Amino acid sequence: MKTNTTTESYAGMMYSHDFQLWYTYVKRRIQKEWRPEELSFLLGKPDHAYQDFEEMFEIQKFLTQESILLDRIYASSRIEAMTFHRGQYEVSEERLVRLKIEEDEVKWSYSIALPWTLLTKKKKPTIPKLNFEEWKPEKNLQLESDAMLHVRQKLEVLLAGNYFEDGATALQMFREVEHTGLVHLQIFPRHLKNVLYSFIQQSKLVVRNVENSYSFFLPDFKRSNRGIIY
């Protein structure tokens, strides 16, 4: 049976250390089974922001601005182990890295062509071509509904208190709602995002840009009703 496959290719200039970080964050995201837009949401950025990073747009700028928060999101600062071969008089310089992504009905297949050689246990340095896969999640409407209900109930409790009076970031709220105590029920950032935007539509919350990052607040009329002085 023939499957429908699409292929996209990207390329970007980066230093070897920046590539290590880029590769680390891609692998972490896939291990979490999150999509790029979910990372953008947790970073308080527009949907395309993290996708641009994975597609190798302004790598160094993004890492400078967001790597600390990304490590906080993953609760890890471990970097994928790579030892790059360097000649006797060779200096560190930006080189072109190429990425190809093939998508079919069930997965994304990544292929990365590197311009460096890596030191391995073999006698000679090797020019690697990194390949890995990201499987698409199976759709389970009942689990999606249960996850949204869990998040909604948690946020309603936070709304009833003073949680949003000074604003809250997506990451702060995700820490509040991600643990369910149930083995079969996993909360993803998309569940929180969907519930938050339904709350915005219902005028329960508003979103504001604070120092180039989205935060969520009570609407002004609700803050006033609670006696908050501006």
Strand partners, 11: 98
Domain count, the chain: 2
Residues 108 and 219 in one domain: no
Token pair in block for residue 47? 């949907």
pLDDT tens-digit readout, 120-155: 666 565 556 689 999 998 889 999 999 999 999 999
Find the domain containing 207 and state its range: 141-225
Of the chain, the percentage scoring pLDDT greater than 70 comes to 87
- CA distance linking residue 129 with residue 114, whole number of Å: 6
Between CA 9 and CA 90 the distance in angstroms is 29
Look at residue 81 and tell me if it is in a domain.
Answer: yes
Q: What percent of the chain has pLDDT over 90?
A: 70
In a domain, residue 230? The reply is no
Domain shared by 86 and 102, yes or no: yes
CA 182, CA 173: separation in Å to the nearest integer? 19
pLDDT digits (tens, 9 = 90+) for 89-107: 556 788 999 999 999 999 9
Task: Indicate the pTM of the whole model.
Answer: 0.86
Quick check: is 59 in a domain? yes
Task: Give the position of tokens 């949003």.
Answer: 164
The position carrying tokens 């890995």 is 132
Inside any domain, residue 160: yes
Q: Which amino acid is at 178?
A: E
pLDDT, average across residues 16-21 = 93
The residues, ordered by sequence, that sit 6+ positions from 183 with a Cβ below 8 Å of its Cβ are none
Grade residue 115 by pLDDT with cuts at 50, 70 and 90.
confident
Whether 14 and 94 map to the same domain: the answer is yes
pLDDT of 217 above 70: yes
Give 89-142 as a DSSP string.
Answer: T-----EEEEEEEEE-SSEEEEEEE-SS-B--SSSS-B--EEEEEEEPPPP-HH
For residue 97, being part of any structural domain is answered with yes
Q: What angle do CA 8, 13, 16 make, to 5 degrees?
A: 110
Q: Is the pLDDT of residue 230 over 60?
A: no
